[in-house]
A and B are shown apart, each in its own frame.
Chain A
Amino acid sequence: MSVIRENLYPFSTKAEKVRGKDSFWGNVFLRLIKNRMAVAGLVIIAVIIISAIFAPLLAPHDPIKQNILARYKAPSAKYILGTDELGRDILSRIIFGARYSLLIGVITISLSLFLGVILGVVAGYFGGIIDLLLMRLIDIMLAFPYILLAISIVAILGPALSNAMIAISIVNIPTFARIVRSSVLSIKESEYVQAAKALGASDLRIILKHLLPNCMAPLIVQSTLSMASAILSAAGLSFLGLGAQPPTPEWGAMLSDARSALQRAPWVVTFPGIAIMLNVLGFNLLGDGLRDALDPKLKN
């Protein structure tokens, strides 16, 4: 289980008005698809999204229905990736599991992004005592060992995938709050923001129109990378019995529930493991690619 709790990719935070939107994002996209690694990441994620959407069509068997007589069958023509401890088809479970994986990535990160952005903007923009208090709160959360924080939250709410997701979101808030705050601080005093203020723009308008667009780049990158670590965190919580509950075909739960079959039926542990690895790899590749594409200084 790992949570990358810091913005690893320091962006230039110099006051810099985002240029004409269309051409900017168009350029980013062009740079992105020129990067082989990022394209590989995109392809992986696309495959996962497709299997998530079309799972009922793609899966050869029912992912939940058990057949105890056919437990631990090795990969064969009928069961391409073999069957698990309850005789369920592993391939079908992995295909359906794509849904949960995406759900974990997208929902947890959206939630922490939302809360983190609010905290960061408020702290950075209003400053003073509000900033001091909010940042101490963030410091406290950072100093709290994250895995224990997540465990305690799940223990309070009860083990379930939804609660594990809430826990992972909370754990990720400080990272986003810090990124946003530092960006906001760096451009708050810039001329165009001051000009907008002088013209009588409301705080909300300034925040939405001028401050947030400027944090977009680092936030996008951090979100992609955090999605990767959120999936691993969910797997870690499953290992401790605090993640998805049976019979949900969630990859982390499949992997940790079946780990005692490592020697008896290696395929039961291998394939969900590979699925998680590829998924995390996909998000990481995309995140790295986005970072390079969004920060033009890095490319000549």
Chain B
Amino acid sequence: MLAYMSKRVVFLVPILIGVSFLVFLMIHLVPGDPAVMMLGERGTPEMLEQLRVDLGLNDSILTQYYRFLKKLIHFDLGRSVISNVPVNKEIGDRFPATLELTIFGMFLAVIIGIPAGILAATKQNSLFDNASMVVALFGVSMPVFWLGLMLIWLFSVKLGWLPPSARLTVGVDLLSITNIHILDSLLTGNLRALFDTFGHLILPAVALGSIPMAIIARMTRSSMLEVMRQDYIRTAYAKGLNSRIVIYKHGFRNALIPVITVVGLQFGSLLGGAVLTETIFSWPGIGKLSYDAIMARDFPVVQGSVLVIALIFVLINLIVDLTYSIIDPRISYS
């Protein structure tokens, strides 16, 4: 087990280096540079050229990559070309926001998706099965920006039930410790901020969680169907065990493995893929950060944020793999 883990961790290094080099190459293939973005419509060609020299943009790609790696060894991701903010700080500020939204969104997806999938499987081809699968399919069939705008329009403008965007209402103060608002408000015993945070989380979490929810529900259903036909389940039934016990104790536990795989993968891709949700809901997360950085050619920020997202992604995969052996003792990594 330990050997397996250390092997996996060692494997992370080439992947991350690969990711970082890929980002570097790609961002330099994109035409345009931060100097152009900083000047906008203004300035003469000479000013532009001078700015490029000063920003170090005229050095060769390899020189720039070497500079980046040299700093990376000291866990320093450099400073934003455009705003001069240290990239470490920028990511530290914004990653928790994404994490909080993703966890909450996945939480919604799991607590709705898994029971719906189990119910649908146990009542295969029933009205509930068909209905819940159609609902789930609608969930994966809507462009998320469209869903998001509709949600704001309905629940904030028309009904006035929920705040339209952002993380906290102006005027609600919260001491930032971890910058995960739920955690901060619990730590400081700030109930007002806690409720306010939940209010702000609901709409973006629904928009973000709808796709994973549908995928999880379908996955759970098909995985359950497969397991329920296995011999040992039939045996359990034959022994006269209560069907609820059979379903939850024997069936569900074994059906979990592919479900966990999906949850892990979805979680990983949401962390970096929430650009649209973050844009619509003015959520100051890392997806929007990296998107803006690509658009502004802010190389260090792109590098840093993609690297962090990739790191989290591979770590989650590792955790998922390890969970398998906990759920199903037959899987071992020796």
Which residues in A have some Cβ–Cβ distance to B below 8 Å? 1-6, 8-10, 36-37, 136-137, 139-140, 142-148, 151-153, 155-156, 228-229, 232, 235-236, 239-240, 252, 255-256, 259, 262-263, 269, 273, 276-278, 280-281, 284-285, 288, 291, 297-298, 300
Return 19 A-B CB contacts under 8 Å, by A number: A1-B276, A6-B261, A6-B262, A6-B265, A8-B215, A140-B15, A144-B19, A146-B273, A147-B275, A152-B26, A153-B26, A156-B29, A239-B276, A240-B275, A269-B149, A273-B146, A276-B142, A281-B137, A297-B229
Contacts A10-B258, A140-B19, A142-B313 given: A151-B226 contact, CB under 8 Å? Answer: no
State whether the Cβ of B155 lies closer than 8 Å to any Cβ in chain A.
no
A276 to B309, CA, bound (A): 30
Known contacts A143-B310, A145-B313, A156-B26; A2 and B144 CB within 8 A of each other: yes
Identify B291's interface contact among A3, A142, A148, A228, CB under 8 A.
Answer: A148
Write out the residue numbers on chain B whose beta carbons fall within 8 Å of the beta carbon of A139.
15, 18, 314
Which residues of chain A have C-beta atoms less than 8 A from B133's C-beta? 37, 288
Q: Looking across the interface, which residue of chain A has its beta carbon closest to that of B129?
A: A37
Please give the distance in Å from B251's CB to the nearest CB on chain A.
Answer: 14
Interface residues of B in 77-127 (CB under 8 A from A): none
> Which residues of B sit under 8 angstroms from A262, Cβ to Cβ?
149, 153
Give the complex CA separation of A298 and B153 in angstroms. 42
Contacts of B14 in A (CB 8 A): 136
Are A145 and B273 in touch, CB under 8 angstroms? yes
Whether B219 lies near A2 (C-beta < 8 A) is: no
Question: Which chain B residues border A147 with CB–CB below 8 Å?
Answer: 272-273, 275-276, 287, 291
CB of B143, distance to nearest CB on chain A (Å): 4
Which residues of B125-183 are within 8 A (CB) of A? 130, 133-134, 137-138, 140-146, 149, 153
- Interface membership of B194, Cβ < 8 A: no
When the two chains form their complex, are residues B145 and A291 in contact, meaning their CB atoms are under 8 A apart? Answer: no
Q: Which residues of A contact B314 (CB under 8 A)?
A: 139, 143
- A144 CB, nearest partner CB in chain B, Å: 6
* Residue B290 lies at the interface, judged by CB distance under 8 Å to chain A: yes
- Say if the beta carbon of B211 comes within 8 Å of chain A: yes
Interface of chain B: mostly helix, strand, loop or mixed: helix
Question: What's the Cα separation between A10 and B222 when bound, in Å?
Answer: 9
Q: Given A145-B313, A147-B275, A297 and B141 touching (CB < 8 A)?
A: no
B269 in complex: contacting residue of A5, A140, A239, A276, CB < 8 Å: A5
Cα–Cα distance between A165 and B77 once the two chains are bound (Å) = 33
Contacts of B142 in A (CB 8 A): 273, 276-277, 280
Known contacts: A277-B141, A288-B133. The answer to whether A263 contacts B153 by CB under 8 A is yes
**Quick check: A285 and B29 within 8 Å, CB to CB?**
no
Shortest Cβ distance from B268 into chain A, in angstroms?
8
Residue among B27, B222, B291, B313 making CB contact with A291, cutoff 8 Å: B222
Provide the residues of chain A in CB contact with B218, threshold 8 Å: 8, 288
| A26, chain B: closest CB distance, angstroms | 23
In terms of DSSP, what is the predominant structure of the interface of chain A?
Answer: helix
- With contact pairs A1-B273, A147-B287, A156-B26 given, residues A284 and B262 touching in the complex (Cβ less than 8 Å): no
A9 touches B222 (CB 8 A): yes
Q: In whole angstroms, what is the CA distance A142 to B19 when docked?
A: 10
Expressed in whole angstroms, the minimum distance between the Cβ of A8 and any Cβ of chain B is: 6
How many Å from the CB of B120 to the closest CB on chain A? 12
Assess whether B143 is in contact with A1, with CB atoms less than 8 Å apart.
Answer: yes
3 nearest CB pairs, A to B: A145-B272, A280-B141, A140-B18
List the A side residues contacting B271 at CB < 8 Å: 145
The answer on a CB contact under 8 Å between A145 and B306 is yes
Q: Which of B201-240 contact A (CB under 8 A)?
A: 211, 215, 218-219, 222-223, 225-226, 229
Given contacts A236-B276, A259-B149, A262-B149, contact A136 B215 (CB under 8 A): no
Question: Cβ of A269: which chain B residues have Cβ within 8 Å of it?
Answer: 146, 149
A-chain residues with CB within 8 Å of residue B260 when the two chains form the complex: none
B326 at the interface (CB under 8 A from A): no
**10 more A-B contacts (CB under 8 A) besides A8-B262, A37-B130, A284-B141?**
A2-B140, A9-B222, A36-B130, A139-B314, A145-B313, A228-B141, A240-B291, A273-B146, A281-B141, A297-B226
Is A285's CB under 8 angstroms from B137's CB?
yes
B294 proximal to A (CB < 8 A) = yes
Assembled-state Cα–Cα distance A2/B272 (Å) = 11
Q: Of B15, B229, B262, which contacts A143 at CB under 8 A?
A: B15
Distance of A263 from chain B, by nearest CB (Å): 7
Cα of A276 to Cα of B134 in the assembled complex, Å: 15
Q: Which residue on B lies nearest to A41, using beta carbons?
A: B137
Cβ-based interface call for B30 (8 A): yes
Nearest B residue to A238, CB-CB: B143
- Indicate if the CB atoms of B27 and A235 lie closer than 8 Å: no
CB-CB < 8 A to B29: which residues of A?
156
A234 to B, closest residue via Cβ? B143
* Docked complex Cα distance between A124 and B140 (Å): 32
Chain A residues with Cβ under 8 A from B287's Cβ?
A: 145, 147
CB-defined contacts of B22 to chain A, threshold 8 Å: 140, 144
Does A281 lie within 8 Å of B144, measured CB to CB? no
Give chain B residues whose Cβ lies under 8 Å from the Cβ of A300.
Answer: 229
Q: Which B residues are in CB contact (< 8 Å) with A9?
A: 222
Contact indicator B294/A148 (Cβ below 8 Å)? yes
Q: Which residues of B contact A4 (CB under 8 A)?
A: 215
| Among A2, A235, A300: residue with most chain B CB under 10 A | A2
Give the Cβ gap from A283 to chain B, nearest Cβ, in Å.
9
Bound CA–CA A156/B22 (angstroms): 13
Min CB distance B114 to A, Å, is: 15
Residues of chain A with a CB closer than 8 A to B276's CB: 1, 147, 236, 239-240
Contact residue among A148, A240, A256, A277 (Cβ-Cβ distance under 8 Å from B306): A148
Q: How far is the CA of A32 from the CA of B79 in the complex (A)?
A: 57
